[in-house]
Structure 1
Amino acid sequence: MIAAKWYSSWSLSSWTVAVILILPLLFLINESLTPDKEVFEHLLNTVLIDYVINTVVLILAVIIISLLIGVPLAYLLANFSFPGAKFFNWGLLLPLAMPSYLMAYIYTDWLEYAGPVQRALRAVFSWQNKADYYFFDIRSITGAAIVLSLVLFPYVFLIVKTAFKEQSTSFVHAGKMLGKTPWQIFSNISLPLARPALAIAASLVAMETLADFAAVKYFAVNTLTTAVYDTWLGYGSLTAAAKISVIMLVMIFLFISFERMSRNKQKTFSGNSSSEIQVVKLQGKKGWLAFSACFSVLLFSFILPVIYLAEMAWQYQEQALNSDFFSYGFNSLTLAISVSIICLCLGLVVVVFKRFNQSLLANLPLKISSSGYAMPGTVLAIAVLLPLTFIDHGLNDFLIVQGEAPIGLIFTGTLFAIGFAYVIRFIAVAIGALESSYERISPSIDNASIMLGNNRFITLVKVHLPLLKRGGLTAILLVFIESMKELPAALLLRPFNYETLATYVFQYVSDEQLELASMAAISIVLAGLIPIILLNRTMESKL
């Protein structure tokens, strides 16, 4: 009886968490169905089509460049050993720690007309002005695509490298027996076998590109993400912004569907796992050539930008290390810690429910709760604002009817809104870490605990939780770092006179004064290194 009551309570809690987290999305869809014959139709007849085209072009460009960078590096490190290969296996993931808006500022500073690159070209070739030569405009779709690719190619590298490593040597041997050259083996055998992984990586890059707000805003590239921001704050139309948001969600749904189909097809290309790819050692000139290729990519995507930020932080430490840095750093710290703990607790509720109930229905709360991660920050901000505004106004109207004084905006005007948005977006990270840990706990342990007379609650407390310590710590750290870096939701939902390190840095980036927030910028980058180190250790422990 007690076990049944506990299970019923846990089931109710799990579904309650799922409903609360999916509520903003339902409100967003409902708002998008509201007629809007002015703003949205005006945008549709003027600039919206251009926004869609820019978005599609940017996504395709970033995918192509990311694949051109990530796939060769993945094949190189999956199949060959050379000086520095062990470092590059995880070192090439470091660009993930670099926020896109910082990369946008840095490369604009380097490549614009007054920057050091063009100044050097004019000095070497004796060019007098811009009319004497051609140099692409960094503040363009091309510039945005290059910058985003330098940040996002590690997704391609990580996913595709794993696919290359899992390919069987029998395919390569067959190619050699048929007299194929190394290039033919790569292009005709290894690459086709990795197509599902390529599709998954491309879908992930596409979703991250679609969700990016800061870099495209800095480059003045009009995409659907900036359209949501401008429509909401510029035109003051939440309904039109909701309609554009739903268009973005449809695109994300297509990317996710494409990824799922590719993942299902991957079973068709599975090889003999007992005969994995044998690593070939590259020596001499070939080895150093491979080293140079990997180092060059890492140099431009992480090392030089970090040196630039570190030098700036050192040079302007008196101005950058000010009271605002400590105040906003404290805001980011407390917000990130709070969100991390909440995500861990709520994630544990839905993950444990799935563990103790293996039915298909028990998997729904987990899937629903994880859906918010696919929502871009600007879209999520609108989705969160809608139900919270409804509750605020309803509560104040009720108090007025009862003859009481209204209490104001206790949800939309406080930290609750930004915290709620963070939980919706990042609880999927916590759920993923907890699920991964649970997969290592054999069901036989549960059976043994029950045979010893323990109910499910006792099994959870005395058996599962001690074994979930590593997964729980990983969940807290990953959510903490994601919360520290989040910009669009914080930018749109923060209360008055409240800043995080991310919003603080972005404002100075927008004003071309990053040096005044350089200490905050380097802090965000250093904080982003933690999940990369954790990811590397997790991968090594599985090998």
Structure 2
Amino acid sequence: MPRGLRAAGPLWRIATLLVALGVLAPVASLAWLALGADLSHWAHLLQFVLPQAALNTALLLAGVGAVVLVIGTGCAWLVSSCDFPGRRVLHWALLLPLAMPTYIVAFAYLDLLHPIGPVQGAIRWMLGYDSPRQFRLPDLRSMGGAIFVLGVVLYPYVYMTARAMFMTQPAHLMEAARTLGESRLGAFRRVALPLARPAIAVGLSLALLETLNDIGASEFLGIQTLTVAVYTTWITRSDLAGAAQIACAMLLVVIALVLLERHGRRHQRFGSAQRMRAMQPRPLHGMAAWMATIAASGPVLVGFVAPAAYLVWESIKRLQLGQGISRGLVTSLGNTIALALGVTVLAVAVGLVVAWTARSHASAPNPARWQARAATLGYALPGTVLAIGLLTPALAVDARVAGWLGLPGLPLMALGMVLVVACVIRFLAMPVGGIESGLARIPPALEQAARLLGENATGTLRRVHLPLLQPAIGASALLVFVDAMKELPATLLLRPANFDTLATWLYAEAARGTYEEGALAALAIVAAGLLPVVLLARTQFRQAPAAGHQNPHP
């Protein structure tokens, strides 16, 4: 905390403590459920379920990790170090797959790459074949297909963090390596890549956490991961204890991924330099320039353009046939917007409390700092794990509320409030991080002046900080809103009866094989997902140094 500023009052610290306890409660509940189950559950899981599910999960994480590392780091270095046709468009277009939830890309490619689908049909036509028996591509419903789908969607996490690091690396380090006889590839391998390793580790851990959280793509493609095993054990077999035990195994994977990220950043240090000259892109000419354009365009075409074009085509086809938009889809859209708005308002309000408390105790050895950090741990919890852990305390509270109000059943579950709380816990890290960044940009002198004029901490926040925090709050709210619209695992497990969102509607249509009906829901989700991606792309574009600018200022 800047010198001269007083810490927030005890009510702020109590609120932050309650938020931290609320985030940690599902983890404690999950452990209690798993340890309290019969030993026969563990024996069955260890013999029949966990070995195959754990192996599939490990193979999927390893494959997706390799794909996102190669594509993300390669594209980040290409657009940062080389100048070629289309570079100014591709440097932000490479972020577009972030708008595509993994289950939507799997949904699209299942139809695109079907043996009698358009892609294989066109290939057979060019080769002169008439039947799928004469030629067919490998089945997408396989481990390789799942790695392909998740990799082309999740590589932007690595691309984004690696490119931010490459853009800020001083040019003289690469020049010194070249002067000492290193080739361009050698200088990248021995200088640029080690410097970017902490950022790459962050991006890789985010991509792997999203892979672990995925349920739609893995189930569509027939891969029995730990996440899918949790869902089927709970919903299909009605075995909550078994699902909790599998979820505990997933928590071990989450801890391993977090430790991987910490290990990658263990030697991270920061330094400053006056008038540091950033690395300038090297112009490419001829065939090399066009090969670079093709290489950088490939991930965008495969991860965004092809599935988006498919969704548009299928939606137009349905509308042209006069089938229109079904009433169930309209209801799902309304449910999605209502859920996303509720999650956004609550998450931003709670995030503001946590961020303000953390700022007030930034330099003091106070437990409030650790409470604020614990409040943001929900993003590391897969949706299925969070839902299993939240169910028991939520049911206990719901039963107590029903008794107080004299209502039958479980009113909180029926109103979707448990689902809202689960999404808030999962996405709370976004508003906390965004608001903390916004607070860091506000000069301490403004708060000092307000305090000298007699304002307390709450009044200073209301009259000084909130007006200045509007851009940060708006960006955080947008991110939470879109992620709540796309959330599938927690929504599948905690939604009220007869309550569908666009994500669950698409999941049901894909399970039935009715792709035309699901395309409309998928297109609506993608359209909403484009908003934060465009915002992120504009932010990165403004921060990118222009070619030939010798002294860029971030």
Give the TM-score normalised by structure 2.
0.91
What is the aligned partner in structure 2 of residue 354 from structure 1? 358
In structure 2, give the amino acid aligned to 1:200: V
SS in 1 for 2:265: helix
Distance 2:392 2:83 in 1: 54
Choose 143-152 or 308-317, whichever is displaced more.
308-317
Alpha-carbon displacement from aligned partner over 1:243-283 (angstroms, at most 9, x marks no partner) = 11111112111211221232231228999981321222223
Return closer, same or farther for 1:204/1:271 CA change in 2, 3 Å cut-off. farther
SS in 2 for 1:230: helix
Q: Residue 4 of structure 1: CA displacement?
A: 9.6
Choose 42-51 or 451-460, whichever is displaced more.
451-460
CA contact (8 A) 1:320 1:518 kept: no
Return closer, same or farther for 1:377/1:427 CA change in 2, 3 Å cut-off. same
CA contact (8 A) 2:7 2:457 kept: no
CA contact (8 A) 2:333 2:501 kept: yes
What is the aligned partner in structure 1 of residue 333 from structure 2? 329
Distance 1:273 1:113 in 2: 58
Decide which of 18, 24, 27 is 1:25's aligned counterpart. Answer: 27
Q: Residue 465 of structure 1: CA displacement?
A: 0.7
Distance 2:217 2:536 in 1: 26
Decide which of 353, 369, 375 is 1:363's aligned counterpart. Answer: 369
Note the 1:174-253 alignment, pairs <5 A. 174-253=176-255
Q: Residue 18 of structure 1: CA displacement?
A: 2.1
Distance 2:535 2:124 in 1: 45
Alpha-carbon displacement from aligned partner over 1:316-337 (angstroms, at most 9, x marks no partner) = 0243522222211111111111
Return closer, same or farther for 1:55/1:270 CA change in 2, 3 Å cut-off. farther
Distance 2:297 2:274 in 1: 33
Distance 2:270 2:434 in 1: 28
Return closer, same or farther for 1:391/1:452 CA change in 2, 3 Å cut-off. closer
What is the aligned partner in structure 1 of residue 97 from structure 2? 95
Return closer, same or farther for 1:321/1:406 CA change in 2, 3 Å cut-off. closer
Return closer, same or farther for 1:490/1:353 CA change in 2, 3 Å cut-off. same
Choose 198-207 or 53-62, whichever is displaced more.
198-207
Return closer, same or farther for 1:509/1:273 CA change in 2, 3 Å cut-off. farther
CA contact (8 A) 1:36 1:240 kept: no
Return closer, same or farther for 1:395/1:338 CA change in 2, 3 Å cut-off. closer
Q: Residue 394 of structure 1: CA displacement?
A: 5.0
Note the 1:77-96 alignment, pairs <5 A. 77-96=79-98
What is the aligned partner in structure 2 of residue 385 from structure 1? 391
CA contact (8 A) 2:120 2:136 kept: no
SS in 1 for 2:347: helix
In structure 2, give the amino acid aligned to 1:30: W
Return closer, same or farther for 1:6/1:535 CA change in 2, 3 Å cut-off. closer
Distance 1:271 1:32 in 2: 53
Q: Residue 114 of structure 1: CA displacement?
A: 2.0
What is the aligned partner in structure 2 of residue 528 from structure 1? 529
Note the 1:350-499 alignment, pairs <5 A. 350-358=354-362, 359-360=364-365, 361-393=367-399, 407-499=408-500
Distance 1:485 1:228 in 2: 20
Distance 2:324 2:422 in 1: 29
Q: Residue 167 of structure 1: CA displacement?
A: 2.0
Distance 2:119 2:244 in 1: 42
In structure 1, give the amino acid aligned to 2:12: W
Alpha-carbon displacement from aligned partner over 1:150-193 (angstroms, at most 9, x marks no partner) = 10011111111122222222221122212222222222332233
Q: Residue 127 of structure 1: CA displacement?
A: 5.1
Distance 1:458 1:408 in 2: 42
| Percent identity of equivalent pairs | 35
CA contact (8 A) 2:376 2:432 kept: yes
Decide which of 285, 288, 291 is 1:286's aligned counterpart. Answer: 288
Distance 1:475 1:5 in 2: 24
CA contact (8 A) 2:75 2:296 kept: yes
Q: Residue 118 of structure 1: CA displacement?
A: 3.0
Return closer, same or farther for 1:5/1:448 CA change in 2, 3 Å cut-off. closer
What is the aligned partner in structure 1 of residue 347 from structure 2? 343
Choose 265-274 or 505-514, whichever is displaced more.
265-274
Distance 2:136 2:524 in 1: 37
Return closer, same or farther for 1:129/1:372 CA change in 2, 3 Å cut-off. same
CA contact (8 A) 2:197 2:265 kept: no
In structure 2, give the amino acid aligned to 1:449: A
Q: Residue 483 of structure 1: CA displacement?
A: 0.7
Return closer, same or farther for 1:269/1:180 CA change in 2, 3 Å cut-off. farther
Alpha-carbon displacement from aligned partner over 1:360-418 (angstroms, at most 9, x marks no partner) = 4221222121111111111111112111122334566x67xxxx966211223331111
Alpha-carbon displacement from aligned partner over 1:425-481 (angstroms, at most 9, x marks no partner) = 111111111111111112232222222332222211111111111111112111111
Distance 1:320 1:153 in 2: 35
CA contact (8 A) 1:320 1:515 kept: no
Alpha carbon RMSD of aligned pairs, Å?
Answer: 2.4
Give the TM-score normalised by structure 1.
0.93
CA contact (8 A) 2:430 2:476 kept: yes
What is the aligned partner in structure 1 of residue 548 from structure 2? none
Distance 2:45 2:18 in 1: 38
CA contact (8 A) 1:77 1:89 kept: yes
In structure 2, give the amino acid aligned to 1:136: P
Return closer, same or farther for 1:120/1:406 CA change in 2, 3 Å cut-off. closer
Return closer, same or farther for 1:406/1:476 CA change in 2, 3 Å cut-off. closer
CA contact (8 A) 1:430 1:479 kept: yes
Choose 109-118 or 73-82, whichever is displaced more.
109-118
User: Is 1:261–2:267 an aligned residue pair?
Assistant: no
In structure 2, give the amino acid aligned to 1:434: I
In structure 2, give the amino acid aligned to 1:508: E
Q: Residue 129 of structure 1: CA displacement?
A: 5.8
Distance 1:371 1:27 in 2: 16
CA contact (8 A) 2:102 2:149 kept: yes
Distance 2:267 2:427 in 1: 29
Decide which of 31, 36, 39 is 1:37's aligned counterpart. Answer: 39
Return closer, same or farther for 1:283/1:424 CA change in 2, 3 Å cut-off. same
Alpha-carbon displacement from aligned partner over 1:193-245 (angstroms, at most 9, x marks no partner) = 32222322222221111111100011110010011011111222211111111
CA contact (8 A) 1:166 1:273 kept: no
Alpha-carbon displacement from aligned partner over 1:110-156 (angstroms, at most 9, x marks no partner) = 22322233334444445576665573221001000000001001111
SS in 2 for 1:291: helix
Return closer, same or farther for 1:5/1:207 CA change in 2, 3 Å cut-off. closer
In structure 2, give the amino acid aligned to 1:169: A
The runs of 5 or more residues in structure 2 that have no matched partner are 544-553
Return closer, same or farther for 1:271/1:117 CA change in 2, 3 Å cut-off. farther
CA contact (8 A) 2:92 2:541 kept: no
Decide which of 306, 309, 312 is 1:310's aligned counterpart. Answer: 312
Return closer, same or farther for 1:267/1:212 CA change in 2, 3 Å cut-off. same
SS in 1 for 2:412: coil
CA contact (8 A) 1:140 1:220 kept: yes
In structure 2, give the amino acid aligned to 1:385: L
In structure 2, give the amino acid aligned to 1:241: A
CA contact (8 A) 1:39 1:235 kept: no
In structure 2, give the amino acid aligned to 1:466: P
